[in-house]
Amino acid sequence: MPYIHIDWVSGQGDERRDEVAKRVTHAVNEITGIALTDIWVVFRDIEAKEWYVGDRSVADRRAGKTG
C-alpha cells in the first residue's frame, strides 16, 4: 500500500488539499494499478515562518523581505 506524505505550507485550503489528494491518488492508481482504497495520502501543514527556502523563510519571501 503506497503511503504518500506531502509537506506543504499551511493555509492552502481544504478544496486545494482535496484536489491534490485526488489527483495524486488517481495518478498512482493509473501508473501502478493499485486500488484507490489502498493508496494513502497524508498532508502535513507547516507554517510559512518555519519553512525555509535557502536562507529565508517562506513568510519572509512572501513579504518581499530580502537577505
* pLDDT, tens digit (0-9, with 9 covering 90-100), for 19-59: 999 999 999 999 999 999 999 999 999 999 999 999 999 99
Statement: residue 67 has pLDDT above 80: no
Return the C-alpha cell found at 21: 489528494
The number of folded domains in the chain is: 1
49's CB contacts (< 8 A; 6+ apart) are 57, 58, 59
CATH number reported for the structural domain that contains residue 16 in this entry: 3.30.429.10
Statement: residue 66 has pLDDT above 90: no
Tell me if 67 is assigned to some domain: no
d(CA 46, CA 14): 15
Cα-based angle 36, 41, 44 (whole degrees, multiple of 5): 170
> What domain range is 55 assigned to?
3-62
